[in-house]
Amino acid sequence: MNTPSPLKLTLVIAAVILCWAYSPIGVHMGLHSYSPGQLALLRFLIASVFMAGVAWVVGIGRPHVRDLPWLLVLGFFGVFLHHISLNHGQQWVTAAASSVLAQSAPLFSVLIAFFCLKERVSIWRWGCVLLGLAGVLVVIWGDQGVGDIDPRGLLILLAACSWSVYFAIQRHYAHRYSPLTMACYMVWSGTLMLCVNLPGLPAAILQAPLPENFAVLVLGIFPSALAYLAWGYVLKHVEVSRASVAMYLIPPVAMVMAATLLGEHVALQVILGAVIVLASVAAISLEGRWRSIVPADRAQKPSVRRIEQASSD
The C-alpha R_g of the chain, in whole angstroms, comes to: 21
pLDDT of residue 235: 73
Give the residue-averaged pLDDT of 35-43.
Answer: 97
142 within some domain? yes
185 within some domain? yes
pLDDT at 208 exceeding the cut of 90: yes
Residues 130-163 as b or e (16 or more Cβ within 10 Å = b) = ebbbebbebbbbbbbeeeebeeebbbbbbbbbbb
Residues in the chain: 313
Number of domains the chain is built from: 1
pTM listed for this prediction: 0.84
Q: What is the DSSP letter of 259?
A: I
pLDDT at 307 exceeding the cut of 50: no
144 within some domain? yes
pLDDT mean across residues, the chain: 85
pLDDT one-digit tens code per residue, 239-275:
665 666 778 889 999 999 999 999 998 889 899 999 9
Alpha-carbon span 63 to 218, nearest angstrom = 29
119 within some domain? yes
Q: Supply the range of the domain harboring residue 287.
A: 6-312
Around 63, how many Cα atoms within 13 Å sit in the side-chain half-sphere?
A: 20
Give the residue-averaged pLDDT of 302-308.
Answer: 42
148 within some domain? yes
pLDDT at 299 exceeding the cut of 50: no
Residue 212: band (very low, low, confident or very high) from pLDDT cuts 50, 70, 90: very high
pLDDT at 281 exceeding the cut of 70: yes
pLDDT of residue 311: 42
Residue 146: band (very low, low, confident or very high) from pLDDT cuts 50, 70, 90: low
Give the residue-averaged pLDDT of 153-160.
Answer: 89
1 within some domain? no
293 within some domain? yes
Alpha-carbon span 222 to 19, nearest angstrom = 6
122 within some domain? yes
Least confident of 158-172, 205-219, 279-293: 279-293
pLDDT of residue 233: 81
